[in-house]
Structure 1
């Protein structure tokens, strides 16, 4: 995971985590990175200083890791995991084919972009879902 300092075309600054620099580039090019304040998709990276950990900091949990863990716990507690069927399930709920409920899972970039283009409300999660075994 990598954290980038970002800025939208309305001069709002914010930070976000990405799987990699290449993942950031793909998401920005697909219009899937938006300003946390105004929703603008005109987002670019800003200059940032590298974070260097000392040996005593390496073992300490980072505050953002705790926040992501808390988000994960809430999502897993309050949503149904639908795995790779996420795009179909989200579309079926949006179209009224199935009842609405909170879901999470995986969608490839093309599927996610199509959902967004079609007005299906989806958001990327700051973590990869765990595969459920039942």
Structure 2
């Protein structure tokens, strides 16, 4: 099993587990590797230190560490915290809304005109329908939800 450090084109960092390096390359070429934050399939492999399983008789050596530059070291915790907050927000959004799919515009109107029970909904609609909803005084906000967050992570 290969555990790889990965990064998408939006600089979201994540870990991927693959049967082999060849399997990673195969999945990457078929656009099957996607960022869990933004669903981007433009993913690259990050440098990582190898893990060596040595017997204890050879002595315990500290693991090799990649030393980030000063700016990277300062930005890494902040970026990771921001990414974690964004993921938490998106998961809460999914938990607290009903997915009405492509019936979004219709259902938003029904709720607005008291033809359906008031509730928080999410779904998909065209830009034209979203604009029409706004003109009718119905508040809508485009918010892309990565496909990876729509299902439980394994």
Larger Cα-atom Rg: 2
Q: Structure 1 length as normaliser, TM-score?
A: 0.49
Q: Structure 2 length as normaliser, TM-score?
A: 0.43
